[in-house]
Amino acid sequence: MSTEPITDSIATKKLQVRVEKLFHREQHSLALFFPNDLELKSRVRKIAGATWSQTNKCWYVANRKDLLGEILAAFKDAAWVNLTALTKNKEQKIDSPKEVQAPVSKPVIAQKEIKKAVVVKESEESLQLLRMMEQKLNLRGYSKNTCKTYLQQFKEFLRFYSGSPIPDLTEIEIRNYIIYLVEQRKVSKSIQNQAINAIKFFYEKMMMQDRKVYYLERPMREKKLPQVLSQEELMLIFEAAGNVKHRAMLMLIYAAGLRRSELLALRVGDVDLNRNAVFIRGGKGRKDRQSIMAQSLVPLLREYMEKYSPKFWLFEGQSCERYSESSLQHILKQAAAKAGIKKQVRLHMLRHSFATHLLESGTSTRYIQVLLGHESPVTTEIYAQVTRFGLDKILSPLDQIA
């Protein structure tokens, strides 16, 4: 394989496809300007609806969703697609590395190259690719949090290869970026997986490349046990939570085993106080499910609803908007501190505690899996490693000799 940098190769060919906005024949289109080249003509004809305009001396395609992705895919490996003219020339100051060309001949990131990083402007092409990814993620129904994660990780990837034709990067160059994350930035295994998922989404879902062509080894996931709170600690936190609204939110997470996003997405009609049930819309994996609710929580929820009269969201913030995740976390943090809990308490620990306490009371893991909305029983079985059920009957060897 040639070790010639891609940017130099494209410059040598002097083949460029310039994309501009065009209003032609009473419709908004994208105009494609490029040299008189047989290969480029062959490729542009593969774009559905591509037509030659004698008036404008260019090819044009009526604008539609995902058109830019089709254009980039059509000219892959043949020409540099210049998207600069599609966006307004607004200066945006964003911290990003100067172009860093990873060596193609061996998967090692040189320390000298990393030190060259300076603050430069985000390129117009990068902004355009990010907008394309955001649109594609939304069209495929990805959650808000997943969209945010993918866009952030892909932005870092674009910054690393600033100035290079992103659709034409080789597998080795992509692997070099992952090596850079691991060896230079020392990111966690979770961040590594997020970066791989974002990159795979771009090349496989947007550029329509074969999954076999693009492959990256995934890091081993850290096998961390879920952190749980005792029932005594939970009661102290709930009592310290203060007003009825704050107590109702924290207690409902624990009572139904909810994720924080699921709690904040609850609508007024999703809680059935007569049947002690909670309906969760579009949980993780965009799946609906139903969970239990403590009968002892019903009086508190009735008191809350009578006092606050929520209109749409069960728990509303300012201006009747959804309550924010940061505010909810702050409530728990303050309550834990007031209760004298020394652990670093997080909202997800309430969900972990729900599952662990059910298991300790003898509930089947199958039922717990359904209540939590886990795809696989393996995910639920991890709680068996933190339960105290039966362990209190085992004597430590020290107790036997002391």
Residues 238 and 344 in one domain: yes
Q: Pick the catalytic residue: 43, 245, 259, 352?
A: 259
Domain boundary among 187, 222, 257: 222
Number of domains observed in the structure of the chain:
3
pLDDT for the residue 27:
84
* Beta carbons of 261 and 325 less than 8 angstroms apart: yes
Nearest to 353 by CA among 190, 242, 221, 225: 225
pLDDT for the residue 283:
67
Q: In angstroms, what CA-CA distances link 34 with 19, 43, 68, 82, 169?
A: 9, 12, 16, 10, 22
Residues 361 and 337 in one domain: yes
β-pairing, 16-24 vs 277-280, is unpaired
Q: Pick the catalytic residue: 245, 351, 352, 357?
A: 351
User: pLDDT tens, 387-396?
Assistant: 666 556 666 6
pLDDT for the residue 80:
86
* pLDDT lower than 50: segments of the chain: 1-13, 88-120, 212-215
* Domain enclosing residue 112, as ranges: 88-222
Q: Is 90 a catalytic residue?
A: no
Q: What is the CATH number of the domain that holds 260?
A: 1.10.443.10
pLDDT for the residue 268:
93
Residues 183 and 61 in one domain: no
Q: What is the CATH number of the domain that holds 125?
A: 1.10.150.130
User: pLDDT tens, 17-48?
Assistant: 999 988 888 888 999 999 988 889 999 999 98
Residues 330 and 286 in one domain: yes
Q: What is the CATH number of the domain that holds 75?
A: 3.30.780
Q: Is 352 a catalytic residue?
A: no
Is residue 399 one of the residues assigned to a domain? no
Is residue 2 one of the residues assigned to a domain? yes
Residues 236 and 373 in one domain: yes
Q: Is 351 a catalytic residue?
A: yes
Q: Is 64 a catalytic residue?
A: no
Residues 168 and 210 in one domain: yes
Q: Is 367 a catalytic residue?
A: no
pLDDT for the residue 392:
63
What is the SS3 string spanning the chain?
CCCCCHHHHHHHHCCEEEEEEEEECCEEEEEEECCCCHHHHHHHCCCCCCEEECCCCEEEEECCCCHHHHHHHHCCCCCEEECHHHCCCCCCCCCCCCCCCCCCCCCCCCHHHHCCCCCCCCCHHHHHHHHHHHHHHHHCCCCHHHHHHHHHHHHHHHHHCCCCCHHHCCHHHHHHHHHHHHHCCCCCHHHHHHHHHHHHHHHHHHCCCCCCCCCCCCCCCCCCCCCCCCHHHHHHHHHHCCCHHHHHHHHHHHHHCCCHHHHHCCEHHHEECCCCEEEECCCCCCCCEEEECCHHHHHHHHHHHHHHCCCCECCECHHHCECCHHHHHHHHHHHHHHCCCCCCCCCHHHHHHHHHHHHHCCCCHHHHHHHHCCCCHHHHHHHHHCCCCCHHHCCCHHHHHC
Residues near 275 by Cβ (< 8 Å), separated by ≥ 6?
A: none
Is residue 125 one of the residues assigned to a domain? yes
Q: Pick the catalytic residue: 267, 343, 348, 366?
A: 348
Residues 294 and 379 in one domain: yes
Residues 318 and 202 in one domain: no
Is residue 346 one of the residues assigned to a domain? yes
Is residue 400 one of the residues assigned to a domain? no
How far, in Å, CA of 282 to CA of 286, rounded?
4
Residues 252 and 303 in one domain: yes
Q: Is 259 a catalytic residue?
A: yes
Domain boundary among 86, 106, 136: 86
pLDDT for the residue 97:
37
pLDDT for the residue 102:
38
Q: Pick the catalytic residue: 159, 246, 357, 374?
A: 374
Domain boundary among 86, 109, 125: 86
Residues 63 and 19 in one domain: yes
pTM assigned to the model: 0.54
Residues 133 and 22 in one domain: no
Q: Pick the catalytic residue: 18, 200, 284, 346?
A: 284
Nearest to 386 by CA among 353, 348, 344: 353
Q: Which two tokens stand for residue 192?
A: 């590594």
Is residue 391 one of the residues assigned to a domain? no
Is residue 390 one of the residues assigned to a domain? no
